[in-house]
């Protein structure tokens, strides 16, 4: 699947965020890189980008991105970008595209699910499909700026920003057959150089249709207000269905605020994972001393490490850096952290006096914690697949117990509490999984 991206304009309404517009960073990732990475997830593997304003800067960035992602990115220069509208930029790619292709603007962000639905449309009869939002109450849409679409069934009969009677919103992504170039040439001969003009021509022939979209995120990031809305949405979307209560109400709001800052730096998710691990080790080390002050500080550090532990996944999702290896490293180091924290609580108690009950409680706490973590992958998978709403007991609650136990100087109570709650939760998960999976 080939993908054509239009990135020739100046984008003056977003200049306060930087320029050229394709390279404006949203949570650490340039707009055009977000468009390309999302298209890759939808199946695109060969890219063509039409440049104009500050073309050399964008071209240099795309050359580096091509090397990083190991995908071909061909740049095309539109020397008349300031004279004509976006249709002329598309026409500049005519000699490069003789088969169906995705078409996107460099500042239109869409969920990969929307693109995946769009590429399934049939353009074999020389047709063009526009991804159109049929949710007229979409609160993210700027009614004063969005391009509106009038329909006859699924056929586009009119399109423009000033339509008073309309049925859907233009999402800025298309699946095109080469017939789009013929329509653009015809529109240009009539003195019109916009893509909308070509779509109107094809609509009159019944060849411009919509791919109706009724869910998922999309946004035209071309104003300060739209930029802020997109930023808020992306950050809000970092919450996970599998977040436990402590993570949802305490850890996640703090970690998201930290991730927003970290996204502006060249910090990898694995570096955050390792930093969180060593923080947790420091907390465990302090907990092991026979001192209340050391115990309380160690517990607070352990809780902070748990908050930071959420940032690695958040940065990975924000900056398209998620890998199976990174997720595996996170799980392994979390288990080590859990083990050391519980061991530290046990050592703290044993330094006061030796008791079999301390050792036994510590052993059961470690076993229960590991079993809950071991069942998490399948358990969380079932929650996501079946869209279930359940009260999730996991690592966030476990570390929070450690924090409270240290703060209140009740290390034995928290060991017993972790041992009971985690083993009961492991048993509950086994029963739940067996009922759901078989």
For residue 52, give the nearest of 3, 130, 105 by alpha carbon: 105
Q: Which of 229, 252, 270 is the last residue of a domain?
A: 229
Q: Which two tokens stand for residue 247?
A: 């993570």
Q: How many whole angstroms separate alpha carbon 95 and alpha carbon 135?
A: 36
Sorted by sequence, the CB contacts under 8 Å of residue 328 that are 6+ apart come out as none
Residue 343: its pLDDT value, please?
A: 97
For residue 12, give the nearest of 224, 247, 306 by alpha carbon: 224
Q: What is the mean pLDDT of residues 30-35?
A: 97
Measured over the CA atoms of residue 164, residue 168, residue 171 and residue 172, the dihedral's sign is negative
Residues 312 and 205 in one domain: no
Residue 381: its pLDDT value, please?
A: 81
Q: How many whole angstroms separate alpha carbon 27 and alpha carbon 35?
A: 14
Residue 433: its pLDDT value, please?
A: 80
Q: Which of 229, 251, 272 is the last residue of a domain?
A: 229
Q: Is the peptide bond before 213 cis (omega within 30 degrees of 0)?
A: no
Tell me the pLDDT tens digit for each residue of 136-145: 889 889 888 8
Instruction: Look at residue 44 and tell me whether its pLDDT is greater than 90.
Output: yes
Q: How many whole angstroms separate alpha carbon 388 and alpha carbon 56?
A: 50
Q: How many CB atoms lie within 10 A of CB 304?
A: 19
CB 361 within 8 A of CB 415: yes
Tell me the pLDDT tens digit for each residue of 231-287: 999 999 998 877 889 999 999 999 999 999 999 999 999 999 999 999 999 999 999
Q: Which of 229, 252, 284 is the last residue of a domain?
A: 229
Q: What is the mean pLDDT of residues 209-213?
A: 96
Instruction: Look at residue 40 and tell me whether its pLDDT is greater than 80.
Output: yes
pTM of the model: 0.89
Residues 291 and 271 in one domain: yes
CB 205 within 8 A of CB 124: no
Residues 285 and 368 in one domain: yes
Residues 204 and 264 in one domain: no
3-class DSSP state of 62: helix
Q: How many CB atoms lie within 10 A of CB 100?
A: 20
Q: What is the mean pLDDT of residues 300-304?
A: 98
Residue 209: its pLDDT value, please?
A: 96
Residues 201 and 275 in one domain: no
Q: How many whole angstroms separate alpha carbon 115 and alpha carbon 36?
A: 12
* pLDDT bracket for residue 191 (50, 70, 90): very high
Instruction: Look at residue 364 and tell me whether its pLDDT is greater than 90.
Output: yes
Instruction: Look at residue 10 and tell me whether its pLDDT is greater than 70.
Output: yes
CB 57 within 8 A of CB 23: yes
Residues 198 and 309 in one domain: no
Instruction: Look at residue 390 and tell me whether its pLDDT is greater than 90.
Output: no
Q: How many whole angstroms separate alpha carbon 142 and alpha carbon 303?
A: 41
DSSP letters, 285-347, are HHHTSS-HHHHHHHHHHHHHHHHHHHHHHHHHHHTT---HHHHHHHHHHHHHHHHHHHHHHHH
Residues 150 and 284 in one domain: no
Q: Which two tokens stand for residue 353?
A: 């006096």
* Residue 196's CATH number: 3.90.550.10
Q: E strands, 203-301, where?
A: 208-213, 218-220
Could you tell me the residue range of the domain that residue 223 belongs to? 2-229
Give alpha helix (H) positions in 353-393: 356-374, 376-385
Residues 211 and 348 in one domain: no
* pLDDT bracket for residue 434 (50, 70, 90): confident
Q: E strands, 63-162, where?
A: 73-77, 101-105, 108-110, 128-133, 148-152, 155-160
Residues 415 and 279 in one domain: yes
Phi-psi category of residue 391: left, alpha or beta, with phi > 0 → left and psi -120 to 50 → alpha: beta
Q: Which two tokens stand for residue 316?
A: 């990975």
Tell me the pLDDT tens digit for each residue of 214-232: 999 999 998 999 999 999 9
Residues 311 and 359 in one domain: yes
Bridge partners (DSSP) of residue 322 are none
Q: How many whole angstroms separate alpha carbon 124 and alpha carbon 108?
A: 26
Total of domains in the chain: 2
Residues 204 and 242 in one domain: no
* Residue 259's CATH number: 1.20.120.1760
Residue 375: its pLDDT value, please?
A: 86
Residue 255: its pLDDT value, please?
A: 97
Q: How many whole angstroms separate alpha carbon 77 and alpha carbon 48?
A: 11
* pLDDT bracket for residue 437 (50, 70, 90): low
Residues 321 and 186 in one domain: no
CB 288 within 8 A of CB 232: no
For residue 433, give the nearest of 420, 396, 425, 365 by alpha carbon: 425
Bridge partners (DSSP) of residue 131 are 211
């Amino acid at each position: 699947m080939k993908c054509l991206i239009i990135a020739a304009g100046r984008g003056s309404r977003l200049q306060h965020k930087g320029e050229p517009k394709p390279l404006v960073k949203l949570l650490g990732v340039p707009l055009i890189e977000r468009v390309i990475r999302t298209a890759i997830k939808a199946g695109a593997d060969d890219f063509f980008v039409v440049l104009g304003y500050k073309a050399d800067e964008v071209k240099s960035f795309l050359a580096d991105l091509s090397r990083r992602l190991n995908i071909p990115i061909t740049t095309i220069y539109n020397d008349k970008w300031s004279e004509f509208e976006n249709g002329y930029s598309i026409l500049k790619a005519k000699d490069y595209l003789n088969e169906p292709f995705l078409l996107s603007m460099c500042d239109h962000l869409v969920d990969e699910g929307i693109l995946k639905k769009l590429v399934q449309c049939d353009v074999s009869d020389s047709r063009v499909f526009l991804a159109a939002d049929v949710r007229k109450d979409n609160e993210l849409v700027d009614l004063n700026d969005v391009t509106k679409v009038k329909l006859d069934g699924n056929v586009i009969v009119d399109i423009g920003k000033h339509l008073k009677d309309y049925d859907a919103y233009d999402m800025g992504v298309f699946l095109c057959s080469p017939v789009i170039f013929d329509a653009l040439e015809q529109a240009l001969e009539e003195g019109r150089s916009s893509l909308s003009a070509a779509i109107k021509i094809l609509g009159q022939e019944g060849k411009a249709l919509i791919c109706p979209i009724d869910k998922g995120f999309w946004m035209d990031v071309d104003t300060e207000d739209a930029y802020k809305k997109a930023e808020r949405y992306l950050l809000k979307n970092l919450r996970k269905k599998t977040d436990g209560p402590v993570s949802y109400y305490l850890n996640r709001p703090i970690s998201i605020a930290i991730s927003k800052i970290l996204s502006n730096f060249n910090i990898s998710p694995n570096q955050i994972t390792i930093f969180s691990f060593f923080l947790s080790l420091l907390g465990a080390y302090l907990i092991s001393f026979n001192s209340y002050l050391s115990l309380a500080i160690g517990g607070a550090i352990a809780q902070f490490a748990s908050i930071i532990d959420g940032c690695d996944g958040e940065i990975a999702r924000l900056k398209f850096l998620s890998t199976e290896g990174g997720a595996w490293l996170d799980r392994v180091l979390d288990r080590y952290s859990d083990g050391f924290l519980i061991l530290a609580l046990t050592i703290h108690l044993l330094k006061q006096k030796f008791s079999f009950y301390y050792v036994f409680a510590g052993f059961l706490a470690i076993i229960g914690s590991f079993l809950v973590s071991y069942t998490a992958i399948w358990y969380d998978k079932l929650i996501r697949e079946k869209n279930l709403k359940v009260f999730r007991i996991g690592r966030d609650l476990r570390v929070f117990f450690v924090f409270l136990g240290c703060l209140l100087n009740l290390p034995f109570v928290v060991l017993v509490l972790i041992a009971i709650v985690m083993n009961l939760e492991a048993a509950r998960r086994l029963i739940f999984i067996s009922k759901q999976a078989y």
